């Protein structure tokens, strides 16, 4: 009897620690970020956890204890993480990854605490992104925590876009906030009257300044803008009533009403005067687009943290559950494993864990991308200004050529191993072009940001319900270790604020079909195919097949119509576009997860701590990739099948063309067991003229045949996915966890 040697599988011994995460999420060489993580973690698992355990979430009011949490943020360096060193900060350069890491650590314990810190950054962001140098200097300096020797309270801010119904919500164009000129003396700065009502404004209980979106209500002001309000401005700065939130109670939210006089210099980004009219340099949409583009990523990371934070409490609960049973003695399976003897409980936890890994990988990839994009964007603006191109449509036109160069670069990069010196020279020329780099990073960021916000928070909220369910009744109590029920509800807010899922899907509808992105995506699917040959255990093969199926379906739907001739891929047809956006997000999350595990495998040995038990950790995390890739592929397969087939009418038996096609495929199969059946069919069923087997598929079926070919490839690529899940489940049942959670669960602080 021949025997097949099965390679020994190394098991992960302990939960992935900081050294592993630093490599995966690429901050192993950033000491500043490692320190930020440690100090944010200290506040989260200390101050914040004690507030939650003491029941501070049970009041909507802003209490002294909650206020003290902001001071703790200041002391820990979390507030200063937004500032440049000269503004009172300690991190030089782009800070997207830094803010993402801090939000991740805080949300590990409580989403409201994370939001309380992020909302201050959100208030400053319009000024940071589009403000004049004077505005940036003033407000960032005021918001920075006091430096040694200084005795002052840092300013806190709030961002006011959303208005009472029926005005601004998802549709940010319906502004009712108004701006008028009340005084404009010759040679002096105009004084403006601002009337703005906000709804659900975070940080309003203690805000010293507010960045508010308003529309012109005066012929002498053009369009809209964002304006900075201060609590001491002349007029009324009414903070309004506190919102009766069911979630995130450690942040303050309310419905303020502002009637204030402010100098025109408060218009974010400044203004020019043309023919006696104030023209803001940026309208409110331009400002908020620049802001949300970055601030939505940390929100997605908050939900990722919730999922990963659920793992340890659930494992502990499962293992201890049966210890009271008669005969359950230490060392017995029942005593040691408890509910973990049951496959379903383990498999469901593996699913939660895999989703958390994918969400974190996607979110951190997006954060790093924005760190790379920030300097490129500045370079792009400088280059275009030098050429006399200033923003808006002119810029879009000017970048068209760079887009074609970027696509050419992707094509050349793909052929790199085969091309000659001429192509290599051209490739180097394109590689030296900053605008090409900008276009590539920009196109990717335009997709990764909404995908992170959409998938992490939306799918994350669903998976948090799974995590809660694994704790049984405990899961839906305040006492649940890890505050899982809070996190479940909180995830729904993360899916809502800064633009609910519909907003992200709408954005993806446009950005995922850009020529540059589709060229990048094609390259990524080929990359996954390569990875599959070296690392089949990651599920890269399934993922590559799912990526191909998505690309084919998108292309098909972009050209297809419904039975009455209506275009299928159309902004108004959200049934098609939104579903494809969801499918894409699954793919992107899974791809980032695989890339992070490969990075760990490549670089793990360089770090003494990560190197210990590296094989087992890589094996386990690869198995989670495989589980997640299989799930993503299943989602994509289901969504695309429904879209590709769902908009055609079921062919009637009378449609001759389709009847022949149908018979051709059916009879071909039958012919094998019943030779001669095809010929008989002609006589019996009476198909005229053409023999069904010769008829070939009709136009509709020819298209769907290609879909079915790709879908069937995807299905066969699922090989091993469930074996990976079994292996991961086995590890989950054995992995070591600390004796107790490192933050309090409930009871008085
Ligand atoms: C706790 C909390 C804190 C917040 N903090 C702030 C803050 O600091 N600053 C601020 O400005 N705002 C803040 N918000 C407001 C938040 O950003 C909005 O609630 C959110 O953007 C959605 O707006 P809306 O509630 O008016 O929903 P609506 O606009 O009424 O939309 C409701 C739903 O309708 C559907 N929908 C709407 N439009 C479309 C469309 N075009 N296509 C498809 N479906 C659509 C979607 O399902 C959507 O979720 C906060 C909200 C909460 C709850």
Q: Which atom of ligand 1 is least distant from the CA of 160?
A: 11
- Tokens for 605, please give them: 């040995």
- What residue's CA is closest to ligand 1, atom 42? 502
Q: Which atom of ligand 1 is least distant from the CA of 203?
A: 8
Distance 499 CA to ligand 1 centre (A): 6
Q: How far apart are CA 212 and CA 194, in angstroms?
A: 9
Q: How far apart are CA 378 and CA 171, in angstroms?
A: 29
Residue 26 CA from chain centroid, whole number? 17
- Render pLDDT for 85-118 as a digit per residue (tens, 0 to 9): 999 999 999 999 999 999 999 999 999 999 999 9
Q: Which atom of ligand 1 is least distant from the CA of 168?
A: 26
pLDDT at 371 over 90: yes
- Render pLDDT for 501-534 as a digit per residue (tens, 0 to 9): 999 999 999 999 999 999 999 999 999 999 999 9
φ and ψ of 622, to 5 deg: -65, -40
From 160, 497, 571, 578, mutation site for ligand 1 pocket: most ligand atoms within 8 A of C-beta: 497
- The average pLDDT across 294-308 equals 97
- Render pLDDT for 662-695 as a digit per residue (tens, 0 to 9): 556 666 666 666 666 666 555 544 444 444 444 4
- What residue's CA is closest to ligand 1, atom 6? 201
**What confidence score (pLDDT) does residue 745 get?**
75
Identity of the highest mean pLDDT range in 381-385, 659-663, 667-671: 381-385
**What confidence score (pLDDT) does residue 48 get?**
97
Q: Name the one residue in this structure whose structure tokens are 């009871």.
A: 747
- The average pLDDT across 151-162 equals 96
pLDDT at 749 over 70: no
Q: Which atom of ligand 1 is least distant from the CA of 165?
A: 26
Core vs surface per residue 333-362: b (16+ CB within 10 A) or e: eebbbbbbbeeebbbbbbbbbbbbbbbbbb
**What confidence score (pLDDT) does residue 413 get?**
83
Average pLDDT value for the chain: 92
Alpha helices (H) along 415-433: 421-431
pLDDT at 564 over 80: yes
From 177, 200, 226, mutation site for ligand 1 pocket: most ligand atoms within 8 A of C-beta: 200
Q: Which atom of ligand 1 is least distant from the CA of 170?
A: 29
Q: How far apart are CA 338 and CA 732, in angstroms?
A: 13
Question: What DSSP line would sit under 220-263, residue for residue?
Answer: TB-SEEEEEEETTSEEEEE--PBP--SS-TTS-EE--EEEEEEE
- What residue's CA is closest to ligand 1, atom 46? 502
Query: Band of the pLDDT at 393, cuts 50, 70, 90?
Result: confident
Q: Is 687 left (phi over 0), alpha (psi -120 to 50) or beta?
A: beta
**What confidence score (pLDDT) does residue 665 get?**
62
- Render pLDDT for 543-561 as a digit per residue (tens, 0 to 9): 999 999 999 999 999 999 9
Q: How far apart are CA 471 and CA 479, in angstroms?
A: 11
Q: How far apart are CA 515 and CA 63, in angstroms?
A: 51
- The average pLDDT across 387-409 equals 91
pLDDT at 189 over 50: yes
Q: Which atom of ligand 1 is least distant from the CA of 496?
A: 20
Among 660, 634, 518, CA closest to 582: 634
pLDDT at 328 over 70: yes
pLDDT at 659 over 70: no
Higher pLDDT, residue 692 or 227:
227
**What confidence score (pLDDT) does residue 390 get?**
81
Share of the chain above pLDDT 90, in %: 83
Least confident of 5-19, 218-232, 411-425: 411-425
- Render pLDDT for 22-62 as a digit per residue (tens, 0 to 9): 999 999 999 999 999 999 999 999 999 999 999 999 999 99
DSSP code of residue 214: E
Least confident of 71-75, 356-360, 652-656: 652-656
Distance 497 CA to ligand 1 centre (A): 6
pLDDT at 696 over 90: no
Distance 496 CA to ligand 1 centre (A): 6
DSSP code of residue 145: P
- The average pLDDT across 173-190 equals 96
- Tokens for 382, please give them: 């400088």
**What confidence score (pLDDT) does residue 662 get?**
55
Query: Band of the pLDDT at 727, cuts 50, 70, 90?
Result: very high
pLDDT at 292 over 60: yes
Report CA Rg, the chain: 29
Least confident of 382-396, 456-470, 476-490, 681-695: 681-695
Instruction: Name every protein residue with a CB atom under 6 angstroms from any ligand 1 atom.
Output: 119, 159-162, 169-171, 200-202, 245, 248, 253, 493, 496-500, 502, 574
Core vs surface per residue 678-695: b (16+ CB within 10 A) or e: beebbeeeebeeeebbeb
Higher pLDDT, residue 294 or 504:
504
Query: Band of the pLDDT at 4, cuts 50, 70, 90?
Result: low
């Amino acid at each position: 009897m021949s025997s097949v040697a099965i390679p020994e599988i190394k098991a992960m011994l302990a939960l992935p620690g900081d050294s592993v995460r630093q490599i995966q999420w690429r901050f192993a060489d950033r000491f500043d970020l490692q320190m930020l993580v440690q100090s944010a973690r200290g506040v989260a698992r200390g101050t914040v956890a004690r507030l939650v355990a003491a029941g501070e979430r049970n009041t909507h009011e802003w209490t002294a204890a909650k206020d003290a949490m902001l001071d703790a943020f200041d002391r820990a360096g979390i507030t200063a993480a937004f500032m440049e060193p000269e503004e009172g900060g300690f991190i030089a350069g782009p800070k997207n990854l830094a803010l993402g890491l801090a939000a991740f650590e805080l949300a590990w314990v409580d989403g409201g605490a994370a939001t309380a810190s992020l909302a201050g950054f959100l208030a400053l962001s319009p000024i940071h992104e589009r403000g004049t140098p004077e505005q940036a200097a003033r407000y960032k300096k005021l918001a920075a925590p006091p430096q040694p020797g200084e005795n002052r309270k840092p300013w806190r801010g709030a961002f006011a876009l959303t208005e009472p119904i029926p005005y601004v919500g998802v549709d940010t164009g319906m502004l009712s906030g108004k701006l008028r000129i009340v005084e404009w003396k010759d040679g002096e700065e105009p004084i403006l009257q601002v009337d703005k009502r906000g709804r659900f404004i975070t940080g309003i209980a203690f805000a010293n300044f507010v960045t508010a979106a308003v529309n012109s209500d005066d012929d002498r002001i053009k369009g809209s803008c964002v304006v900075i309000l201060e609590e001491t401005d002349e007029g009324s700065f009414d903070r309004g009533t506190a919102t009766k939130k069911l979630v995130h109670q450690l942040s303050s939210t309310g419905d303020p009403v502002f009637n204030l006089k402010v100098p025109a210099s408060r218009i974010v980004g400044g203004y020019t005067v043309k023919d006696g009219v104030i023209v803001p340099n940026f309208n409110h949409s331009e400002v908020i687009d620049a802001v949300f583009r970055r601030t939505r990523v940390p929100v997605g990371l908050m939900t990722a943290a919730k999922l990963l934070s659920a793992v340890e409490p659930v494992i502990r609960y499962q293992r201890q559950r049966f210890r009271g049973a008669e005969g359950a003695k230490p060392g017995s399976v029942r005593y040691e494993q408890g509910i973990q003897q049951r496959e379903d409980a383990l498999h469901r936890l593996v699913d939660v864990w895999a989703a958390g890994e994918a969400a974190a990988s996607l979110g951190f990839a997006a954060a790093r991308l924005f760190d790379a994009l920030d300097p490129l964007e500045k370079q792009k603006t400088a280059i275009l200004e030098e050429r006399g191109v200033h923003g808006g449509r002119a810029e879009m036109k000017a970048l068209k050529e760079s887009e074609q160069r970027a696509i050419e670069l992707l094509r050349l990069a793909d052929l790199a191993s085969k091309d000659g010196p001429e192509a290599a020279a051209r490739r180097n020329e394109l590689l030296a072009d900053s605008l090409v780099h900008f276009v590539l990073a920009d196109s990717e960021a335009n997709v990764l940001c909404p995908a992170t916000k959409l998938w992490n928070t939306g799918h994350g909220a669903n998976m948090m319900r799974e995590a809660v369910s694994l704790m049984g009744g405990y899961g839906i109590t305040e006492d649940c270790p890890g505050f899982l029920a809070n996190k479940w509800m909180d995830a729904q807010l993360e899916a809502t604020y800064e633009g609910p899922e519909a907003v992200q899907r709408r954005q993806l509808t446009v950005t995922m079909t850009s020529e540059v992105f589709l060229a990048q995506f094609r390259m990524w699917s080929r990359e996954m195919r390569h990875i599959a040959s070296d690392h089949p255990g990651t599920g890269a093969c399934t993922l590559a097949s799912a990526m191909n199926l998505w690309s084919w379906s998108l292309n098909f739907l972009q050209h297809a119509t419904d039975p009455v001739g209506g275009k299928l891929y159309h902004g108004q047809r959200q049934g098609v576009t939104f579903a494809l956006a969801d499918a894409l997000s699954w793919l992107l999350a899974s791809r980032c997860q695989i890339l992070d595990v490969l990075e760990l495998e490549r670089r793990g040995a360089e770090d003494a701590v990560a190197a210990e038990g590296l094989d087992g950790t890589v094996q386990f995390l690869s198995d989670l990739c495989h589980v997640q890739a299989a799930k993503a592929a299943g989602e994509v397969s289901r969504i695309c099948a429904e879209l590709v087939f769902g908009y055609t009418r079921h062919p009637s038996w009378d449609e001759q063309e389709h009847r022949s096609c149908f018979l051709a495929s059916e009879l071909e199969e039958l012919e094998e067991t019943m030779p001669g059946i095809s010929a008989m069919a002609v006589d019996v069923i009476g198909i005229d003229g053409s023999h069904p087997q010769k008829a070939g598929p009709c136009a509709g079926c020819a298209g769907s045949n290609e879909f079915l070919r790709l879908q069937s490839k995807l299905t066969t690529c699922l090989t091993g996915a469930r074996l990976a899940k079994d292996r991961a489940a086995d590890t989950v049942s054995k992995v070591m966890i600390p004796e107790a959670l490192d933050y309090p669960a409930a009871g008085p602080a």
